[in-house]
Amino acid sequence: MAGNSFGQLFRLTTFGESHGVAIGGVLDGCPAGVDLDIEKIQSELNRRKPGQSAIVTQRKEPDVVEIYSGVFEGKTTGTPIGFAIHNTNQKSKDYSHIKDSYRPSHADYVYDKKYGFRDYRGGGRSSARETASRVVAGAIAKQFLDNIKINAFVCQVGDMKLEKDYRDLDFSKIESNPVRCPDPEMAQNMEDYIKAIKKEGDTIGGVITCVVQNVPIGLGEPVFDKLHANLGKAMLSINAVKGFEYGSGFEGVKMKGSQHNDAYNPDGTTITNRSGGIQGGVSNGMDIYFNVAFKPVATVLQGYETINKEGEKVTAQGKGRHDPCVVPRAVPIVEAMTALVLADHVLLARSNKI
């Protein structure tokens, strides 16, 4: 099917372009009886919202979510939850310069080739604006998951890398700074660096770590729908993501098996956790943790050479209001997609035993 649905039982379908009438989605399969706090949904959206600090895009989008269905007297009813966020700040003129030419490392060129033409305004469907719908659904998933705790944070900006073990970090500090890095000193350095990058009209990449705690044992459906395989797909489906690793990740390849294996405690927990909370594709009750790599935003506010539809060389100038670094605003998106994957697997796991 066309690729705008995610999940099997707890299933989100999204719609919307950055400069159309509205974006939104349908969340189908959320069980009945979840106490739903609409303000919590809005506050997750606010974490993703443009204009929240000096180091993110200064667009002004209020991003107010309207819930159309599936909730009655404060509870989910088990029927699909339809929702929309109306677009209110569409400066379509800002994008007229890209109507006929292709921005490098954007989706302009491939969309034209794939579909024959495209809604060129602000990236259209390929804009990261689409992820606001994911945050809405993820905020509902979080409320369904309840006891499971999901915390994402920025661990790297450019080559500035937080080398601490996540167990030594205070997650309550994540929201205390605009970068969303729980280490105050590193956060300040990253913020300064992003500001400098912004001043150059340039952009920079980064890495987000996500930690999931209080995970029940048994989530994940081998052999293809392993829990980490679906987490990986979820993360890679976010705009600008170039890599995913969990547990020991790429570093783990350097280890010997005798060093890498996680020995058991009598209660079934493990002494180390290089497995990252997942063994054989199934959660083992330990913390799940993974890293997600984001490339630098492709829109730089500098002049560049490119081609137009006719294949002629043209020069262009990056305009508009864009993020110098995507990771601070991507933190709630990573959490949202994590919540969607876990909610889906909680429902899937209900059918494993008689």
Find the shortest distance in angstroms from Cβ 139 to a copy of itself. 16
C-beta of 175: minimal distance to a copy of itself in Å?
22
Phi, psi of 247 (to 5 degrees): 55, -135
Considering the complex, what minimum distance in angstroms separates the CB of residue 206 from a copy of itself?
A: 6
The residue among 8 and 172 lying less far from a copy of itself, judged by its C-beta, is: 8
Separation of alpha carbons 176 and 329, rounded Å: 14
Q: Is position 296 annotated in a ligand binding site?
A: yes
Min dist CB 178 to a copy of itself, Å, is 19
Residue 129 marked ligand-binding:
no
Please indicate if the annotation marks 125 as binding a ligand: yes
For a copy of itself, give the closer residue by CB, 34 or 170. Answer: 34
Find the helix or strand (DSSP H, E) in which 340 lies.
helix 327-349
Q: Would you say 150 or 194 has its CB closer to a copy of itself?
A: 194
295 class by beta-carbon count within 10 Å (0-12 exposed, 13-18 middle, 19+ buried): middle
Q: Is residue 297 annotated as involved in ligand binding? A: yes
Per the annotation, does 303 bind a ligand? Answer: no
**Cβ nearer to a copy of itself, comparing 176 with 261:** 261
11 is in an annotated binding site: no
Report the nearest approach of a copy of itself to the CB of residue 248 (Å). 6
For 330, phi then psi, to 5°, come to -80, -15
299 annotated ligand-binding residue: yes
HEC string of 312-334? CEEEEECCCCCCCCCHHHHHHHH
What are the phi and psi torsion angles at 348 (to 5°)?
Answer: -60, -40
Q: Residues 6 or more apart from 256 whose CB is under 8 A from it? A: none
State which residue, 89 or 176, has the beta carbon closest to a copy of itself. Answer: 89
**Minimum CB–partner distance for residue 333 and a copy of itself (Å):** 12
C-alpha 82/C-alpha 80 separation (Å) is 6
CA distances from 89 to 14, 58, 215 (A): 20, 12, 40
Helix (H) or strand (E) holding 229, with range, is: helix 227-236
Closer residue to a copy of itself in complex, CB, 34/135? 34
Pairing status of strand 5-6 against strand 11-15: antiparallel
Report the binding-site residues.
48, 125-127, 239-240, 280, 295-299, 321
Task: Detail the residues annotated as belonging to a binding site for NADP(+).
Answer: 48
